[in-house]
Structure 1
Amino acid sequence: MVTTSKCTTETIFDYSWKQVVQAYWNRYPNPSSTHVLTEDTIKREVRDGKLYSRRLLSKTNPVPKWGQRFYNNAPVKIIEDSILDPKKKTLVTYTRNIGFKKIMKVDEIVEYSEQNDGRTLAVRRAYITSQVFGFSRAIRALGLERFKSNCNKAATGFNYVLRNRFPKPAVSATATTTTNTSSDYTDGNANETVATTIATNKTESIKMVSRIGYEYLKNHAMKIAQIFSIKN
């Protein structure tokens, strides 16, 4: 069983779907994406009237001091697959990291779709897992916090690109982002069981890390004491 944290955000861009799609392939670099180091198109083809693309990106993010024992600030390689459907007017992207997966694995799905008022809705879903024993929950909490922060940066940066590419948007030049509740669920064969609600701000994350660290040290202290008593 692997416990996964999930988070969903929705962003409304006041630009047409066509404008958003055209700008999507040129959204880097921008002032809000300094963590994106490189991007390369690996494969691109048209099948059944849809455009399939695969890209390789390199990103980096600073980690708190307690997390440096598990992960340094080396760039992380990310694979991005996308399907553009001009008939349905949808662009769906699927990204996942191919490095440091045991420490933190992030699967992200984003769907850009046209709205009735001419604007574009981006629904972003992230699924975060960690296999670090004793620190999985704290690492997932950090991942959720980082995901939400990056969502805001991504919306701001993308909107910057849109404004420069299309001075006259479909409606107005803003981007509104809302975040839905995030939760833990356990991956089984076919069922998803809701377990607990992950901390969603820095204070709660710090408290969680401290509590987990205390339990970790307490358990090991008890084991050492038992070994010592056996030897004596």
Structure 2
Amino acid sequence: MVKFYKSNYTHNHDFDTFSVAFFLRYPNPYATHVVSVDTLSRSVDDQGRLHTLRLIVKQGKLPNWCRALLASSKINISESLVLETSVIDRHNKVIYTDSRNVDYTKIMRVVETATYRANVVDKVETVNAQTTVSFVSSFGFASMKDRMELWGQRKMGENLDRSRLGMGFVMDRLREQGGKIKLFQLAMQRTMSAAQPVSTA
């Protein structure tokens, strides 16, 4: 049976800084498990939203009982491929993301969707993050599937904590070097102007 993890969190940085940090968040000291990040495609739709598809390679850490079980089935997992889709709507100051593993999906399929939306209170802008993660295992018998899903669900809180620390680290560095934000935003604007338009119909 599918398991879910839901989270609501507020990043104390403005939307522009957050949107730049989203693409520059790797590497950081809290994401040493990330091996590589490659941009597969980038386009702008007819509403001016930036669509980006990236492939992220991550090292995986499994509990001992899981490693032993997979070893008995002659399965060795050292890295995992994650496909990240993002849509940045600068006009409405919102980012939509979808991240999912594309390998070992029988053992566990993990799908993370998030919405990052700017929020202004007393002229101070922050970014609210609403995240939902689903876990589905098709490996082994029913109790084993349930155990795998529960492990993923329990681990996600720790993973999100590290992710937030990493984003905070990158955003703090960007804030200290504001000129880099402007340079990156200019580069993104040029990218959006040159990107192949896609229809949302």
Q: TM-score range by the shorter chain?
A: 0.7 to 0.9
Structure with greater helix percent: 2
C-alpha separation in 1, matches of 2:119 and 2:161: 21
**1:12 alignment partner AA:** T
SS in structure 2 at match of 1:25: helix
Q: Which residue of 1 aligns with 2:12?
A: 14
Measured after TM superposition, the shift of residue 168 of structure 1 is 8.9
Match of residue 38, structure 1, among 29, 36, 39: 36
Runs of 5+ consecutive residues of structure 2 not aligned to the other structure: 179-201
Counterpart among 153, 156, 164 of residue 144 in structure 1: 153
Give the alignment's Cα RMSD to 1 decimal: 1.5
Q: What amino acid maps onto 1:25 in structure 2?
A: F
SS for the counterpart of 1:119 is strand
The correspondence for 1:100, drawn from 98, 104, 115, is: 104
What residue identity is the alignment partner of 2:138?
A: Q
Partner of 2:185: none
How far the C-alpha of 1:146 sits from its partner, in A, is 1.8
Which residues of structure 1 form unaligned runs of 5+? Answer: 170-232
Amino acid across the alignment from 1:139: M
How many residue pairs match? The answer is 167
Which of the residues 162, 172, 175 maps onto 1:163?
A: 172
Please give the per-residue CA displacement for 1:89-117, whole angstroms capped at 9, x wherever unaligned: 11111011001100000000011100122
**TM-fit CA distance, 1:158:** 0.7
1:110 counterpart letter in structure 2? A
Paired letter, 1:103: I
Shift of the alpha carbon at 1:73?
Answer: 3.8
The match for 1:173 is none
Mapped pair 1:54 → 2:50:
no
- The DSSP-based 3-state class of the residue aligned with 1:126 is strand
Q: Residue deviations 1:128-176, cap 9 Å, x none?
A: 100122301100011012211100000001100111110399xxxxxxx
- Paired with 1:75 and 1:61, the residues of 2 have a C-alpha distance of 6
Between the aligned partners of 2:21 and 2:166, the Cα distance in structure 1 is: 11
| Contact persistence 1:63–1:72 (CA under 8 A) | no
Paired AA for residue 79 in structure 2 = P
Amino acid at match of 1:31: P
TM-score relative to the length of structure 1: 0.69
Larger Rg: 1
Q: TM-score, normalised by structure 2?
A: 0.79
Distance 2:166 2:154 in 1: 18
Q: Equivalences for 1:53-92 in 2 at 5 Å?
A: 53-68=52-67, 69-70=69-70, 72-92=76-96
| Runs of 4+ residues over 4 Å off in structure 1 | none
Identity between Structure 1 and Structure 2 (%) = 25
Supply the distance in 1 between the matched residues of 2:120 and 2:171 (Cα, whole angstroms).
Answer: 20
Structure 1 distance, partners of 2:32, 2:177, is: 26
Give the Å deviation of 1:72: 3.5
Question: 2:34 and 2:95 mapped to 1: Cα distance?
Answer: 21
Deviation of 1:57 after TM superposition, in Å, equals 0.3
Report the residue type matching 2:102 in the other structure.
I
